[in-house]
Amino acid sequence: MRSVERLSAAERVALLVPLAGGLAFGLGPLLLPQTLAGLSGYSGDDPLIARLAGAATLGYAVALALGINEGRARPLRFVLLATLVFNVGSLFACSVEIVSGGARPIVYLILVADVVIIAIAAALLRGHAEPPAARDVGNWVVTLLAILTVPATIFGLFPLLAPQSFATLFGYHGTDAFVFRQAGAATLGYAAMGVAEIRSGRWHGIRLPVVMALVFNSAAFLATAYHMAALGEVNLLTIAVAPASLFATIATALILTLRGH
């Protein structure tokens, strides 16, 4: 039972790798998108996309930090699943960039990090398998999670698989397709996590994922509101993201306040 419940010291140290990546690639694009773009060799033409990618990535870091501090594996399972999906998507984005011949040095750095993080997440998920159990959260929680999973799926797959089409539809330049793909990969992890939460319906499993989604959506709302109010960036994407992220922020805060009951 101990192997299922507790993280070993080595596992907690290993989780510092995705935590560090989440902080670096969360706070950097969220706070300084154009500076980071300049340093990494990209144009920075679509800073809101970078900010949203950073907001999504920051959520992983916060959830991982809380999980490492608690030292228990079960609350981290769905966060690890999201991390696995995110980094598989990111690996795909890196591969496309390399094959296209436009890869900057940072792409190779991210690719190496992806491989390491995928190995860590897969090993922990395999080492802390857990049998299904009866649900202990209210049906309203499952319904809200299902509603939130739909846009995460759309805004995960669309920019990951078709960044230029996504940019055209929402009125962006699309110069840095790699940034769009990374934003999609980060968001797709939330979609996979949402499906797992819906299937589980167990409070111990959904608590950290809900915190993770709260961080993502509150940061996404603030970033979008800033671009709309201060920069006058009112288009199809900001009109869609602002209310959706605000709704998700309120919904996740409500779930946490009522502890899923």
**pLDDT for residue 133:** 78
User: Which region holds residue 70: left if phi is over 0, alpha if psi is between -120 and 50, else beta?
Assistant: alpha
pLDDT of residue 4: 59
Q: What is the chain's mean pLDDT, rounded?
A: 95
pTM, rounded to two decimals: 0.95
List C-alpha distances in Å: 115 to 111, 121, 122, 209, 252: 6, 10, 11, 23, 31
- Mean pLDDT across the stretch 148-168? 98
Residue 218 has pLDDT above 80, yes or no: yes
pLDDT for res 201: 92
Q: What are phi and psi of 68, to 5 degrees?
A: -60, -40
Q: How far is CA 93 from the centre of its chain?
A: 15
Give residue for tokens 């919904």.
251
State yes or no: pLDDT of 1 exceeds 70: no
Percent of the residues in the chain that have a pLDDT greater than 70, as a whole number? 98
* Number of domains making up the chain: 1
> Average pLDDT in the 61-73 region?
96
Mean pLDDT value of segment 172-190:
97
pLDDT, position 261: 75
Say whether 105 sits in a helix, a strand or coil. helix
d(C-alpha 69, C-alpha 62), whole Å? 11
Average pLDDT over residues 156-183: 97
Q: By C-alpha distance, which of 22, 27, 55 is closest to 222? A: 55
Question: 261 versus 57: which is more confidently predicted?
Answer: 57
Q: Specify the 3-state DSSP secondary structure of 58.
A: helix
pLDDT band at 132 (very low <50, low <70, confident <90, very high): confident
Q: pLDDT value at position 9?
A: 96
Q: Which letter, b or e, does each residue of 84-109 get, where b requires 16 or more Cβ atoms within 10 Å of its Cβ? A: bbbbbbbbbbbebbeeeeebeebbee
Domain range for 240:
2-258
Q: How does residue 2 score in pLDDT terms, banded at 50, 70 and 90? A: very low
DSSP H stretches of helix in 32-104: 33-40, 47-70, 77-100
